[in-house]
Structure 1
Amino acid sequence: MWAFKLFTILELPAADPYWQLPAAGYPALPARSNQTAGGMQFIVDPAIPQHVFLASKQFPIAKLMYHGQEKYGKFAYSSHFGFNLSRDTQYIQQFAIDNALAFSIAGQDQFTSRRVIDASQMYADYAVSVWHTTTAQVVTYLVPLTATLHVRIHEVTTAFTLDAYEGGFPLTPWNPKHQTPATTAHSTSAVNREAVSTITDLLANRQPTHVDQGPNTNLISPEKNVVPALYTQLTPGRHILACAVLGDPRPGMALADADAQLSVTTTGYAVHNGAQTVTIPRYQ
């Protein structure tokens, strides 16, 4: 719908000055761009054939917005990986877990993720969103590090025992009969000829896993895909979850480039990536 608005230019008459203007080259994007009004953070590298933005503000409120949770509520969107749509909210394999944190009452397998954002704030190096589901209150910090790597920190408060899954970028094509992601003690990585997708637990309190998603669930490809993921069961109370998420369309890149560390202090967090450190005071 939005793309077709471009064709309103064709309503201009042939004599309009617009048609006399010389063609201009595509403007170079800044390496880092924060879109405050939209709550989006962009990091661009001309050497990498994708655009990724992290989302912390927009959410669907129209009742007729089909799949609005997937279109607006995910933490990250990529021009290379696309995003998934849920076939059902029953069972995690049917739920679009890519770039989302989803909760279910333990054992019920009925999942939901970020949809309504109660508050958001953007800073120079990170952004915050405050959101809720029927079972949890969450404060999420999104920290872009490079054009392919970002960190997520979640403060989760719940009165229930919850099954919690968090996914990285969806990788397609993927056939679970013949392909298996590589799993370590703290991370899951999926690699094929198209790209590499990795999610790494930064606090050692979740189990690396993966979620196979069916055909015709990804916006870009009709093939099956896989989502590297982290799982834990949360008890009633307050929890801190954190992960580093890598999505790179260069499948031969070194997985060590996904390296990031997190320090938790009494007042907030510090994210480290090489010589880069991002200090994050706890949101009040």
Structure 2
Amino acid sequence: MPPTHPFAANPLKTKADLQQACISLLAPLAAHTSPGGARIRLGFTGTHYDEVAAQLEGFSRPLWGLSALLAGGYPADQFPEAENWRRGLESGTDPAGEEFWGYSRAKDQRMVEMAAIGYSLAIAPEQLWAPLSDKGKKDLAEWLGAINDKEMPDTNWLWFRVFANLGLAKVGAPHSDERMKADLDHLDTFYLGDGWSRDGPEGVRQLDYYSSSYAIHYAQLVYSKLAADSDPKRCAEYRARGSRFAVDFVHYFDEQGRAIPFGRSMTYRFAMAAFWGALAFADVQPPAPLSWGVIKGLLLRNLRWWSKQEIFNADGTMPIGFVFPNMYMTENYNSPGSPYWCMKAFIPLSLPETHPFWASPEEPYPQSLPLTVALDHPSHIVTRLGGHTFLLSSGQACHYPLRHTAEKYGKFAYSSAFGFCVPTGSFELEQHAADSMLALSDDGAGERWRVRRIALDARIEVDDGVPVLRSGWKPWPDVEVETWLYPPSARAPNWHWRVHRLKTGRKLQGADGGFAIYGQEKSGRALPPFLPETGEGRIEGGVGALAASSAGVSAVLDMSPSHPRTGTVVNVDANANIMATRSVLPTLMSHHEPGDEVWLVTAVFAIPSKEGAEGAPDGWLKAWEVPPALPPSVKARVH
């Protein structure tokens, strides 16, 4: 067994702890750094962009953490490897040098990596700019400035050009105020209100972690501090947006510190919580019921949770994946250096010990927050009922070809405890891995399945005082599905409901899946038929399906009024789930004839294990065996 990574043994409670955690992630990169320091090669997998850009990514992304570390007063001589990045800034931008990164072209990955460099120059100029030679400064300024006349994607990428210019401005180098203002003006058109921004122009419905921690809100907050004197009105607006957004974003985290996996770029890991550090960096007074202690806890608990996951190679570097190395769930822009976007979470290291973020005692997750909230802009209903934090979703979709786009945006539910699955292939349900989805097949053999990617006319309605998420779907021209998603109630906290009205002009098979769950018993073998004395196993057949393991319980129950379905537990392909290497999926199977118009009602049951415990809490079996009555509004709808 390799030695325990220092990050895993770190208590992650103080600034000194976080400094050591940052160093423990940076130090292993030295063995993979080129002689001139400009390229870091961490693996051999490819991306849609060139290899030089991939190795630039390996160099630049750690700078999000290193520059904050140095800006916050950590002595450079106590981390001598920092010199690699200073040398790399010179060798990577020297057009005549062997390690030259190349000037950016239109829509070039180099543009993305300029953001970390511009940010680093802005917050740590004495450590990373001042030591450069005159030629090095000139080359770096020209390399960054080359972004200003190139076409960029109409997305959060525009922030990368803002930061390239902002960094140059902060060190007194040539830059374009006009370009920066034009980009900021356009980025502001992405704003929807109530703190939320979409990741693109009008018509784009994509409000994932790029809208918060990865890019947009993070960038707005950083800009609001660094440009407060030159652009005060805009900076004040960004601070107000951050304050308002925090009140919604807190619902995406649970008491353990986990964030709900949703959308793309999950390999960025604890960058999901970087917004909280950026809020502190911008000195935004936390809005009630949040406080500095709560903000601190949200970030540090997230880091502590990640420190217990299998996220390190034997040499101390981070692989592509989520809680374990995994290529199935990646995007075509994930290089071996991509995971180091997570270093954005270290931004509080730039703050002094006297800042209220560090000076305040850490506080737990605020219990005064509502247990269930409906968030109109992202089209999410988020709840903490049932022992885990999860969201119901309809309406979002990536606006360009993205690997597993339906699974990252189109599922009915996403959970901080159970994660989500992506397909490993396209043959039968085991490979399709359609958790929290209705999958339909028209091939007669159940080999190929379609799932929802685009939710039509998605909106949140109120039904008997309860928020309900309603949407449509047309998998084929002669097939229509309308779906209503109902959150759990205080009387039945472990159950939520989905209602489908299916009209079909062709013969179909249907598979309605619950949450995928770890599918091995304590011995490490596959789950056997359920044994009450051990609390482990699977139940299938009849009108329901259940799987119980050390991860808790997941089940589905058919409550359709007139079209009965059969329960089965699908053995999901290994590594399809982003949180469990071996998982199973309780599923309801149905058959439909041409001309059918039927109501399908699914009761989804889930209880995750508690932190530090194995299996669901005592009493769960009775809760499963005595399901609650359908909500009155559901009864009224389907009868």
The residue matched to 2:407 in structure 1 has which SS?
helix
> 1:219/1:13 Cα in 2 relative to 1: closer, same or farther (>3 Å)?
closer
1:89 Cα deviation (Å)? 2.4
CA distance in 2, matches of 1:196, 1:14: 43
TM-score, normalised via structure 1 length: 0.83
Q: Kindly indicate whether the alpha-carbon contact (under 8 Å) linking 2:518 and 2:550 is maintained by their aligned counterparts in 1.
A: no
The residue number in structure 1 matching 2:71 is: none
Q: Which among 165, 169, 173 is matched to residue 515 of structure 2? A: 169
Secondary structure, aligned partner of 2:570: strand
Q: Quote the residue 1:264 is aligned against.
A: none
Structure showing the higher helix proportion among its residues: 2
**Aligned alpha-carbon RMSD (Å):** 2.7
- Aligned partner letter, 2:487: P
Higher strand share: 1
Residue 528 (structure 2) aligns with: 179
Question: Which residues of structure 2 form unaligned runs of 5+?
Answer: 1-209, 215-269, 282-346, 530-537, 610-615
Decide which of 538, 546, 555 is 1:198's aligned counterpart.
Answer: 555
Corresponding position: 1:36 with 2:376 = yes
- 3-state secondary structure, aligned to 1:208: strand
Say if 2:486 is the partner of 1:143. yes
Alignment of 1:77-96 (within 5 A): 77-96=414-433
Q: Does the 8 Å contact 1:121/1:128 carry over to 2?
A: yes
SS at match of 1:92: helix
**Which stretch of the first structure deviates more once superposed, 250-259 or 233-242?**
250-259
Residues 255 and 61 from structure 1, CA distance in 2 versus in 1: closer, same or farther, beyond 3 angstroms? farther
Instruction: Note closer, same or farther for the CA distance 1:27–1:232 as it changes in structure 2 (3 Å cut).
Output: same
1:236 corresponds to 2:574: no
2:621 to 247, 255, 261: 255
Superposition map of 1:37-52 within 5 A: 37-45=377-385, 49-52=387-390
Matched with 1:102 is 439
The alpha-carbon deviation at position 156 of structure 1 amounts to 1.0
State the alpha-carbon separation in 2 of the partners of residues 189 and 12 from structure 1.
Answer: 46
1:215 matched residue in structure 2: 574
Question: How far is the alpha carbon of 1:170 from its aligned partner?
Answer: 0.7
CA distance in 1 between partners of 2:485 and 2:398 (Å): 20
Q: After superposition, what is the alpha-carbon deviation per residue over 1:99-120, rounded to whole angstroms, capped at 9, x for unaligned?
A: 1100111225111111111111
Question: In the alignment, which of 394, 398, 415 is matched to residue 60 of structure 1?
Answer: 398
**Do structure 1's residue 130 and structure 2's residue 489 form an aligned pair?**
no
Amino acid at match of 1:71: K
Letter in 2 for 1:156: L
CA shift for structure 1 position 281: 6.9
Whichever residue aligns with residue 502 of structure 2, its letter is: V
Cα offset, 1:172, TM superposition:
0.3
User: Aligned ranges for residues 154-165 of structure 1 at < 5 Å?
Assistant: 154-165=500-511
Helix, strand or coil at the partner of 1:216: coil
Q: In the aligned structure 2, how far is the partner of 1:195 from the partner of 1:241?
A: 26
Deviations 1:15-66 (A, max 9, x none): 8x9x356547444431120011111112224xx6421111122123321x22
Q: Deviations over 1:60-81 (max 9, x none)?
A: 3321x22111111111111111
Larger RCO (CA within 8 A; separation ≥ 6)? 1
Give the number of aligned pairs. Answer: 265
1:226 CA drift (Å): 0.7
Q: Distance in 1 between matches of 2:568 and 2:350?
A: 58
CA separation of 1:128 and 1:281: change in aligned 2, threshold 3 A = farther
| Contact in 2 for aligned 1:209/1:229 (Cα 8 Å) | yes
Question: How many Å separate the matches in 2 of 1:140 and 1:121?
Answer: 11
Q: Partners in 1 of 2:527 and 2:572 — Cα distance?
A: 15
Q: Distance in 1 between matches of 2:621 and 2:461?
A: 28
**Aligned pairs (5 A) from 1:244-283:** 244-250=603-609, 251=616, 252-258=618-624, 259-261=627-629, 271-272=630-631, 277-278=632-633
Alpha-carbon distance between aligned partners in 1 of 2:621 and 2:516, rounded to the nearest angstrom:
17
- Comparing 76-85 and 175-184, the one that deviates more: 175-184
